Amino acid sequence: MALQVQAALLPSALSVPKKGNLSAVVKEPGFLSVSQKAKKPSLVVRAVATPAAPVASPGAGTSKADGKKTLRQGVVVITGASSGLGLAAAKALAETGKWHVVMACRDFLKAATAAKAAGMAAGSYTVMHLDLASLDSVRQFVDNFRRSGMPLDALVCNAAIYRPTARQPTFTADGYEMSVGVNHLGHFLLGRLMLDDLKKSDYPSRRLIILGSITGNTNTLAGNVPPKAGLGDLRGLAGGLRGQNGSAMIDGAESFDGAKAYKDSKICNMLTMQEFHRRFHEETGITFASLYPGCIATTGLFREHIPLFRLLFPPFQRFVTKGFVSEAESGKRLAQVVGDPSLTKSGVYWSWNKDSASFENQLSQEASDPEKARKLWDLSEKLVGLA
Ligand code: LMG
Ligand code: NDP
Ligand code: PMR
């Protein structure tokens, strides 16, 4: 049976690292834990996940153990879990024992090393390769995930890049401007494909979460720091964000602005969450949510910013705006949105107040415009090959 478990996992594991070297990957304890730590061979699913202390709960997604109904361990996929918020949330969720975390990352070894350095228990997570800058990679990831035999109970679209100092656009494998390509289009395809997996799950509360941000909302001070987010009439997106004969910017602007492209991508993330909610919540019961986790000024998101910014930004946020939040705290917040039984409401953009209590926040007019959301959805479908 152990062999069977291993065999079931092998195809996904072997095809996981695109860039990585296989022997190094196979040596990785997090990876090996997938088959080595399997203690409950009755189901492939149970074998992949760490056998955690069962949580008593009635309803679906339960199994009988010792004559009692118990909630099985949930499986959550987190994109970009190799650093910052994604890693902190992965750790927070894995530590509860209630979740097995699939870390969907572009750099397999970086993710595996980060998980280990963060002290995540081997067997509480699986690293799988996902490069959101390639739609082929997104499809490949979904195939690999399905072949692993794990159910999907929650999906967190967390990965992002921010290119504030770039003067020229760069492009994804499919030729789309990188910030919107990775932050929005890659996640759009992933979310659309994995909706089917969420639908199949028997877990009591299934959730699809997409990271938003305050800087994409012009109804805030932070959202008014130039350059301001704005999608215009989406003509640049309609033109394919190519940058050569068209525009690399969603609003069709002639010149590229990396900071604006990021903020625009966050509007897309928040609009997409709401459109998912409108189209699928009633029919599926899945919770769709977005959030602003606070200003996590120390993460890798700012890696491309000038050194002076990276030096001053954390104290500025900590002492001046007071919007600063540590990576660990932000991870707890995201973990709440994934698993807290009180945050099941769908269509919500969560934020936290100074006492770290969650509340339903207001999105800007543009970030909650249903007509724009529908148009964005239709255009995105074309760009990722779904329509
Ligand atoms: C753009 O500039 C770039 O052009 C673009 O390329 C890209 O990099 C983009 O977002 C990234 O930034 C934006 C920014 C640059 O420009 C401005 O903000 C222009 C200012 C225009 C006025 C803004 C309106 C806001 C009005 C508020 C008034 C300000 C008061 C501040 C207090 C607010 C309290 C609620 O800006 C910068 O690069 C500045 C860098 C910001 C971070 C560092 C700020 C330094 C502050 C020093 C903090 C010191 C540490 C605190 C110690 C406390 C001790 C107790
Ligand atoms: P980090 O840079 O620390 O983390 C981003 C993650 O995304 C990394 O794991 C990175 O991988 C991954 N990533 C980047 N490009 C790709 C790609 N092509 N394919 C797959 N993964 C990719 O940033 P944060 O933790 O700060 O950001 C996480 C989320 O939080 C983002 O959605 C961001 O918009 C949001 N957010 C952040 C705020 C903040 O203040 N930091 C505030 C509000 C929202 P790698 O490690 O390989 O680089
Ligand atoms: Mg901003 C008033 C509160 C506040 C908050 C909560 C943020 C969050 N910022 C605030 C204010 C200001 N910022 C002010 C007054 C300024 C002018 C000095 C300012 C500047 C600033 C810059 C240059 N802030 C930034 C930048 C960035 O490059 C970051 C960015 O826009 O990335 C897209 C950023 C951020 N400020 C935030 C947050 C959360 C960011 C990180 C970006 C994000 O993930 O959305």
Task: Compute the distance from residue 295 Cα to the ligand 3 centre, in Å.
Answer: 8
Task: Compute the distance from residue 355 Cα to the ligand 3 centre, in Å.
Answer: 21
- Cβ of 164 below 6 Å from ligand 1: yes
Ligand located closest to 312 CA: 1
Residue 378: CB partners within 8 Å, gap ≥ 6?
387
Give the Cα separation of 99 and 93 in Å (integer). 6
Q: In the structure, which protein residues have their CB atom closer than 6 angstroms to any atom of ligand 3?
A: 162, 164, 213-215, 221-222, 225, 259, 262-263, 295, 321, 323
- Cβ of 225 below 6 Å from ligand 1: yes
ipTM of the complex: 0.85
> By the 8 A CB rule, do 292 and 214 touch?
yes
- CATH assignment of 74-384? 3.40.50.720
Ligand located closest to 270 CA: 2
Ligand located closest to 316 CA: 1
Q: In the structure, which protein residues have their CB atom closer than 6 angstroms to any atom of ligand 2?
A: 79-80, 82-86, 105-107, 110, 130-133, 158-161, 182, 211, 213, 292-293, 295-297, 299-301
- Given the CA of residue 213, which atom of ligand 3 is nearest to it? 45
Q: E-strand spans in 81-233?
A: 99-105, 125-129, 154-157, 207-211
Task: Compute the distance from residue 224 Cα to the ligand 3 centre, in Å.
Answer: 9
pTM: 0.86
Delimit the domains of the chain by residue range: 74-384
- Cβ of 320 below 6 Å from ligand 1: yes
Of 218, 221, 225, the one to substitute when testing ligand 1's pocket (max ligand atoms within 8 A of C-beta) is: 225
Question: How far apart, in Å, do the first and last CA atoms of the chain sit?
Answer: 42
Active site residues: 262
DSSP letters spanning 72-111: PPEEEEEETTTSHHHHHHHHHHHHHSSEEEEEEESSHHHH
Q: What is the pLDDT along the chain (387 residues), one digit of tens a residue?
A: 333 333 333 333 333 333 333 232 322 333 323 332 333 322 233 333 333 333 333 344 655 555 566 889 999 999 999 999 999 999 999 999 999 999 999 999 999 999 999 999 999 999 999 999 999 999 999 999 999 999 999 999 999 999 999 999 999 999 999 999 999 999 999 999 999 999 999 999 999 999 999 999 999 999 999 999 999 999 999 999 997 778 999 999 999 999 999 999 999 999 999 999 999 999 999 999 999 999 999 999 999 999 999 999 999 999 999 999 999 999 999 999 999 999 999 999 999 998 899 999 999 999 999 999 999 999 999 999 999
Of 214, 304, 354, the one to substitute when testing ligand 3's pocket (max ligand atoms within 8 A of C-beta) is: 214
